[in-house]
Amino acid sequence: MSVESKSAMVTGASKGIGRDIALALARDGFDIVLGFGRDRAAAQAVAEEIAALGRKTVLVAGDVASPEVVTNLFSAAQRTFGRLDTVVINAGIMRMAPITRASLADFDAMMSVNARSAFLMMAAAGEQLRSGGSIIALSSSVIAKSMPGYGPYIASKLAVEGLVKVMANELRGRDITVNAVAPGPTATELFLHGKSQQQIDALAQAAPLERLGLPQDISAVVAFLAGGQGRWINAQTIRVNGGFA
């Protein structure tokens, strides 16, 4: 269902799943607040694609684990569009290592970018979203597999799923939905980085559909949750993984 004159915020929107989410929402009639880390050229390219769809964008750079950056994102939404209807918490990092060899620095980095940022974004969204709004946070289907090498990453994403359930209850009576979308192995730079071709091939065969997910497989579910047809889905984690888990 298309919507008119609404705005959405997407973090980690310069590439991968975040890019596809921003474009899917723009196709559904949302103007977009594009949050990105350091790659301004990539973010600008996404903004140009959105402009070609007839929608407006505003770009905000920075680490969403920073309260100041989160404030900048929400201020930009109100200043530019005068309203905010959907917040998609997508920015994240993944560093793989067995728990016995994982560094505390990597653990802290994932907890900061993946979990702390989700906490800050949900807190701000709860203050600013209007009735009929939605919060959608990206988790991961590797949680359901307890896969070796993913311990700190899984810990950070379990925190996200816990925040989603509590936030949905705390927003009782305001007609705001809060859900998590948990992709399985998806062909993005984040997923492919550091993996051998043998590892990639094995993960591609792990699901009954015998392929890696594509960013558009994930963005379609996010767009559904952000649209009018997904209003009865709340406090859920939707695993989008081709049967991987």
The pTM (predicted TM-score) of the whole model is 0.95
Q: DSSP state, 229?
A: G
DSSP annotation string for 86-132: EEEE---------TTT--HHHHHHHIIIIIIHHHHHHHHHHHHPPTT
Q: Which residues are catalytic?
A: 153
pLDDT tens digits, 66-80: 999 999 999 999 999
pLDDT of 3 reads: 45
| Residue matched to tokens 């946070």 | 137
Residue 105 has pLDDT above 70, yes or no: yes
Element holding 34 (H helix, E strand): strand 30-36
Residue 226 has pLDDT above 50, yes or no: yes
Quote the CA–CA distance of 23 and 214 in Å, as a whole number: 14
CATH of 6-185+215-240, one of 3.90.79.10, 3.40.50.720, 3.30.450.20, 3.40.1160.10: 3.40.50.720
Amino acid 181 reads V
pLDDT of 2 reads: 47
pLDDT of 4 reads: 54
Q: How confident is the model at residue 195 (pLDDT cuts 50, 70, 90)?
A: confident
pLDDT tens digits, 30-73: 999 999 999 999 999 999 999 999 999 999 999 999 999 999 99
Residue 175 has pLDDT above 90, yes or no: yes
